[in-house]
Amino acid sequence: MSLSSSSSLLGHEARRLLRGLLRARLALFHGDEKALQASAIEIRSHFDQHKDIANEEEIRKRIKEGKEAEMFLTTNVLQGKMNERGNFETKLKSADPDKETWEVPKEAK
Domain spans of the chain? 3-77, 79-109
Q: How confident is the model at residue 88 (pLDDT cuts 50, 70, 90)?
A: confident
What is the per-residue pLDDT for 107?
Answer: 66
Tell me what the mean pLDDT of segment 82-103 comes to: 70
What is the per-residue pLDDT for 80?
Answer: 80
- Percentage of the chain lying above the pLDDT 70 cut: 78
**Sheet of 88-91, strand order:** 81-82, 88-91, 101-104
Q: How confident is the model at residue 90 (pLDDT cuts 50, 70, 90)?
A: confident
Which among 52, 77, 67 has a CA at the least distance from the CA of 17?
67
Amino acid identity, position 62: R
pLDDT digits (tens, 9 = 90+) for 24-75: 999 889 888 999 999 999 999 999 999 899 899 999 999 999 999 999 988 8
